[in-house]
Each structure stands twice: as C-alpha cells, then as structure tokens.
Structure 1
Amino acid sequence: MAKDMTLLWGSGSAPCWRVMIALEEKNLQGYNHKLLSFDKKEHKSQEVLDINPRGQLPSFKHGDNIVNDSYAACFYLESQFKSQGNALIPDSPAEQALMYQRMFEGLVFYEKLNAVIYYKWFVPEEERHDSALTRNKEALATELKLWEGYLKKLGSGSYLAGKSFSLADVTVFPTVAYLFRFGLSAERYPVLGEYYALLKDRPSIKASWPPHWLENTKGQDTLKEI
C-alpha cells in the first residue's frame, strides 16, 4: 500500500510536514520519499516537474494518482484510508464544521506568518520598507490573538476542533511549530503555547519533525517582540 506512494519533500516546509503527519496518522509508514534541497533549487528539478509542473514541494503520488496540494493530499489520504490508522474527520457535525473552518482559516494564518518571517526573502531589497514589515507584524499579532481566543474557548487540553485530533491539527500545527521555532513567547501567548506542548510529542509529529530542526535546535528570534 504505502510502497505505491512517493513523496518528494523539503525539510522545514510546512506544506510537506502536513502530508507527512497525515501519512503517519494513517499508518502509512514505508512510503518512498526523497528529501530535496530548496537552497540547491532541487524542487525545480525534472524529477519534481514530472510529478508537479509547478516545481513545488510537496510532490505526492499514489499509484497513478497525483495530489500535490498539501490540503488536497491530506483529504485524499483520509478518504482513501478512512478505516486505517486514526480517523481525522470527526463524526460530530459541530466538530466537523469547526474542523473545516479552522483548516481553511489556517491558510490565512500561514500567509500572515510567512509575511513576517520570510519578508527579506519574498521582497526584493529595493522594495522593502520598515512600515510594511511593521504592518505585517501587526497583522500577525492580531491573528495570534484570534487563535488564542479560539483555543481558550474550547478549554485546556483541546485540539482545534474539539476533543479529537483532526485534519485541522494536521494542517495548522506546522504553522504553530514555526511560531515557536522563530521565537514566539509562550508567556505572551500561553494558550498557543499549551497547544504546542500538547502536540509536539505526538508520535506522528515527532516522526516527521524537520530534520534540520533536530540538527539545530536553537531556532531564531524573529517573533520574540510580537
């Protein structure tokens, strides 16, 4: 089953991590995978382009089926292997609705995070402005307060859609992990800090933890003042 799967991925890529967590949750260990280097532009190689014409990672193939978008791949894995591993879509209509809502809000969350931590990479030097970066940081701070509120409302020990780990956590946790990797204060955002602590040692997350984060545990302090 898993031997028919191929994942081309990059270390520290949140979209890649989402798919890897989903694969672990569905007990699909043993799939073919290859770690590629963004720095060496390996994501633009012919090997990737043959699966993903956009030249992006993840690039995922199951048999003849290609699903490269990370959210789509997570839905695909849950649909195809529904009875295997952990169920990732709640049965409760209320929790299911909340799961979908948080999943897709998670895309906005991820964009606002990237607008701060990757500002120097995304924006050419001659187009950078301190005022723009300040606005990006303010937008991220507003977003963080929103997610603090979401989790606080659910209560201590909750996942993003309630009491069960779901696709919302699969897709959004990598963003939360990035926050703390880049210096977010758990004292300033204690509910997000509690959520991060709750999930970081989950087997599927530990098994797929970015290799270069294991090699260099220090991280950065980009978000320490937010």
Structure 2
Amino acid sequence: MSERLLFWGSGSIPCWKPMLVLAEKGIDYESKQISFSEKGHKGPEVTALNPRGQVPTFKDGETVICESNAICFWLESMYSKQGTELIPSDPKEKAKVLQKAFESAENMQTKAMQGVLYYYWRTKEEDRKEETIKENLDNCRNELTVWDKYLGECGHDFVAGKQFTLADVFFFPFLAWAWRMSLDFNKFPNIKKYFESVRERPSVKATWPPHWNEGEAQPEKMAYLKSL
C-alpha cells in the first residue's frame, strides 16, 4: 500500500487537477474514489483528514493537504525532479506559467462556470432572467475569446509555451467540463485544436472522469451554451 492517498470524485475539476499532476510526475498513490450522490466526501474516512468534508483530500505520509491548488503546488515542490517539470526553473518561463495558471483558475471559474453553468443549475427555471443569462453568456464568450487569442498568439501546443505545465493542469479541466456540457468549440478554433491535442495526452486519458465514459451527458439541459 502506498504512503500516499487521494480521495477524489469523478468529474470534479478540483479533483482532476492534482490527479493530472500525480500522473505527469509518475507518483504512485492509493486512489480512493468517493460518490458525491452518496455523500462519500462527508464520510468518516474523509472527515478524519479534512473536517470540511471536501475532496480532493490528499495524504503523503504525515502530511495532509485539502485544497486542490495547494496539492498541485506541493507535489511539484516535493517531486520537482520526477516526471514532467510543471513549473520551469527559468524565472521568465516560471512567470508565464504562474500567470496563466492563476488567470485560468480565477477567470474560467468565475466567468465560465459560476456565471453560466452554476446560474443555470442553481436557479429555478421560473426565476431565471433573460438579461442575466445574456450577460453571463457574453462574459463567458469574451473569456473564451481571450484564451482562443492567447493560444493563437502563443504559437505552441500549450497554454504557456512549448511544454505541458501547471498552466495546462489548471486550464484543461475547465475546457473538458465545458465540452461535456455541450459547448461548441468550432467557434474557438485555437481552443478546439488545443483541446483535441491535450485530450490525447497519456495523463489526461489515465485520469479522464470515469463516469464520462459511461454515456453522454444531458446536452439538452445545457443547450443554450451552443449560442456562444
């Protein structure tokens, strides 16, 4: 049994990010998948390590880390010489990676997920306002346009340059989730090219949310994303 342990849930962006890091670094760990529908994240195994009852929750020996981004940075710090170098040592390259990583974590979260998806899911149909939906869609479209331009200007295969880095670990799961929710990438050609390329990466294939392989999402529920 590995001294490293990760509790995670399928389809969770916060869970997917450290799983990508672990795969890229080639770090052995015990995988403990929980069921959100059965509230596995509130079970005694998780809450014994994380009083908030949230995943991902990661344990390495006596060290416990319960925040997705913190896990990613800690793993890269502790295992920097193993597997893929996710944060370059060169100061200028490091700055690019950190900039894009935090930029995607902040803006894709607030403008794509919270503004569009969370509003749709968490607001009753009779309470949804057309002007709010339009504003949210405009914000999401503008954000995706920014990233499409970044990828076009970059001239490389990845968000922050020639190599897969922590910036891609932070950015790709948001795109994959949007794809799952029926977003049409044909309107964002550079994003589409990036998504199709990174999707074939071994670490992505190895950590692809298992329930996504069991059947289609329910695109009719998010069909309005196609208006982007």
TM-score (norm 2): 0.91
Which amino acid is 1:141 matched to? R
Residue 19 of structure 1 corresponds to 18
1:112–1:97 Cα change, 3 Å: same
Greater percentage in helix: 2
Compute the displacement of 1:220 (Å): 2.3
CA distance in 2, matches of 1:53, 1:127: 34
Which amino acid is 1:60 matched to? F
Contact 2:97/2:166 (CA < 8 Å) preserved in 1? yes
In percent, how many aligned pairs have the same letter? Answer: 41
SS in 2 for 1:118: helix
CA distance in 2, matches of 1:198, 1:53: 38
1:152–1:72 Cα change, 3 Å: same
Map of 1:77-116 to 2, 5 A cutoff?
77-107=75-105, 108-115=107-114, 116=116
How many residues align? The count is: 223
CA distance in 2, matches of 1:52, 1:126: 37
With 45-54 and 96-105 compared, the bigger mean Cα shift is at 45-54
Q: Does 1:172 align with 2:174?
A: no
Compute the displacement of 1:219 (Å): 5.7
Residues 58-105 of structure 1: per-residue CA shift (max 9 Å, x gap): 111111111111111111111111111111112332221111111111
Map of 1:1-226 to 2, 5 A cutoff?
3-29=2-28, 31-107=29-105, 108-115=107-114, 116-123=116-123, 128-155=128-155, 157-217=156-216, 220=219, 222=222, 223-226=225-228
1:128–1:47 Cα change, 3 Å: farther
Compute the displacement of 1:143 (Å): 0.5
Compute the displacement of 1:158 (Å): 2.3
Instruction: List alignment gaps of at least 5 residues for structure 1.
Output: none
1:40–1:121 Cα change, 3 Å: farther
Compute the displacement of 1:124 (Å): 5.6
1:66–1:169 Cα change, 3 Å: same
Contact 2:183/2:226 (CA < 8 Å) preserved in 1? yes
SS in 1 for 2:11: coil
Q: Which runs of 4+ in 1 moved over 4 A?
A: 124-127
Contact 1:96/1:161 (CA < 8 Å) preserved in 2? no
Residues 165-214 of structure 1: per-residue CA shift (max 9 Å, x gap): 10111111100111222222222001000110110010111000000111
SS in 1 for 2:32: strand
Instruction: List alignment gaps of at least 5 residues for structure 2.
Output: none
Contact 1:15/1:58 (CA < 8 Å) preserved in 2? yes
SS in 2 for 1:9: strand
TM-score (norm 1): 0.91
Contact 1:182/1:224 (CA < 8 Å) preserved in 2? no
Residues 93-149 of structure 1: per-residue CA shift (max 9 Å, x gap): 222111111111112212322221232433466754332222211111110011111
CA distance in 1, matches of 2:104, 2:154: 17
CA distance in 1, matches of 2:46, 2:124: 26
Contact 1:213/1:219 (CA < 8 Å) preserved in 2? no
CA distance in 2, matches of 1:173, 1:5: 25
CA distance in 1, matches of 2:108, 2:207: 21
RMSD between superposed Cα atoms in Å: 1.8
